[in-house]
Amino acid sequence: MRTPTDWDKYSSNPNSFFSKYFFLNFVIKAYSELLEVVDFEHPIDILEFGCGTGYTNKWLCQRFNVKKLSLIDLNTRMLNVAKGTLSEVQCEKEFINMDFFSVETDEKYDIVHSQGVIEHFETEKRIELLKKHCDSTKPQGYCIIYFPTPSNPYRFFKKAAEILGVWKFTDEVPLRSTVVVDEMKSFGFTPVKSNLFWRSFLTEEGVIFKRTV
């Protein structure tokens, strides 16, 4: 049984220089690469599971003509941080302070995404969460999933952090992309492109899927 990550501790300084200007640059570049072949002829709706600081969604609102932006997170403090980040974004915004698994809606989105979320759940709950991603995506819409993958640098730095007592993500288990791709395919999603960022550290892999059924 995994020990849940203390997200209140993690979110103690989400707007640090490191978060905003270093790590964020890797994230935005990675998202940009996955979305470089994606375009829409209409204003779009975006949903994120796990809001983070809101900066990725802010960039998405600059990249696309966004009609509505919805963010789901159980951590109230992180939602408030995201609200501040997105305060000047001119679109409809919805901040849902709920557990992912308690959210029930028939609303569909053009882009559904999460970054650093699914790896915190046991297999059964992870598949349930991926299904929620899929069920929320419009036909011909896109789903982006980022997750840590067990590269040699990841294993080294995680072990070092655990030894030093500074590893905060107690329920995080890295995933191989083949696992995530197979699970998403089972829901009728086709992988379009994948990439890696932070290759020399806590390697994260991202895959963009298109809903084809």
Does the pLDDT value for residue 19 go beyond 70?
no
Q: Mean pLDDT, to the nearest integer, of 196-209?
A: 94
pLDDT at 13: 59
Least confident of 11-20, 75-84, 116-125, 139-148: 11-20
Question: Looking at the predicted structure, is the pLDDT value of residue 16 above 90?
Answer: no
- Give me the CATH code for the 7-211 domain, please: 3.40.50.150
**pLDDT, greater one: 212 or 148:** 148
Q: What is the pTM of this model?
A: 0.94
- CA dist., res. 92 & res. 143, Å (int): 20
In whole angstroms, what is the distance from residue 50 CA to residue 97 CA? 10
Starting at the earlier edge strand, list the strands of the sheet with 204-211: 92-96, 66-72, 44-49, 109-115, 137-148, 204-211, 189-197
Average of pLDDT values for 184-205? Answer: 95
| 51 vs 206: which has the higher pLDDT | 206
Answer whether residue 81 shows pLDDT above 80. Answer: yes
CA distance 58 to 84: 11
Q: What is the pLDDT of residue 3?
A: 85
Domains in the chain: boundaries: 7-211
Average pLDDT of the chain is 92
- Under the banding of pLDDT at 50, 70 and 90, the label for residue 22 is low
Average pLDDT over residues 62-80: 95
State the pLDDT confidence band at 11, using cuts at 50, 70 and 90: low
Q: What is the identity of the amino acid at 50?
A: G
Burial of 124 (0-12, 13-18, 19+ CB in 10 A): exposed
pLDDT of residue 24: 82
Greater pLDDT, 131 or 105: 131
